[in-house]
Amino acid sequence: MTAPYRICFVCTGNICRSPMAESVFRARLAEDGLDGLVEVDSAGTGGWNEGDGADPRTVAVLRAGGYEHAHTARQFQASWFSHLDLVIALDSGHLHELRRLAPTAQNAAKVRLLRSYAAGTAGAAGEALDNGSGAAPGHTPDPAPDLDVPDPYFGGLAGFEECLEMIETASDGLLAEVHAALTARAAEHDDQHPEKAPHHPPEEERA
């Protein structure tokens, strides 16, 4: 049995955007029957909110959207790269910080902007190509600024609702990416572990 595909969403303090993305994407996986194949969590680039729950406004918009929610904030650690398949940054600041934190270029290439998966978003294609380039951490071109999910912390509830809409839109594209990754992983597993052909004894042994 292959290991689950692992994704971590990352924002600044892990109380607004990333827990929202975690809840939305977990729901997408459940709807698609993939919740047993993919593990999702979230974290922050900073640790000042560790142990706290999500911002009450995040909880409010998730409940209004019908999403289940349970959360305890934590800080992203560089050691996590080794067991994660994707690290999803909520804005370009997180993207750069996470890539600088990555121990290797291969780890840095795991870091993607969430809104790079939103169909029709300007700059999305360039960001996707950039992530697959294998460039060294801290030496990748700047993604388009309109790919950020803006920080709603210092505003009102409307800002959180806007973030939820952006996250929902991008989650559809991310789900398609995960489908493709799981298909490729299954094919690779089959190539490495082909089923043995049934043994048929020679005719004289069966006589």
Tens digits of residue pLDDT in 137-192: 333 444 555 899 999 999 999 999 999 999 999 999 999 999 999 999 988 866 66
User: For 125-147, what is the mean pLDDT?
Assistant: 46
Torsion over CA: 106, 112, 118, 119 (sign): negative
Number of domain units in the chain = 1
Pairing label, strands 38-44, 111-113: unpaired
**Active-site residue numbers?**
11, 17, 151
CATH number at residue 40: 3.40.50.2300
Judged by phi (left if over 0) then psi (alpha if -120 to 50, else beta), residue 134 lies in: left
The pTM of the full predicted model, rounded to 2 decimals, is 0.83
Domain residue limits at 104: 5-206
Judged by phi (left if over 0) then psi (alpha if -120 to 50, else beta), residue 38 lies in: beta
User: For 29-36, what is the mean pLDDT?
Assistant: 95
CA distance 9 to 135: 21
Quote the pLDDT of residue 137: 35
User: For 104-116, what is the mean pLDDT?
Assistant: 97
CA 183 to chain centre: 17
CA distance 60 to 148: 22
Residue in the structure block whose two tokens are 């052909």: 197
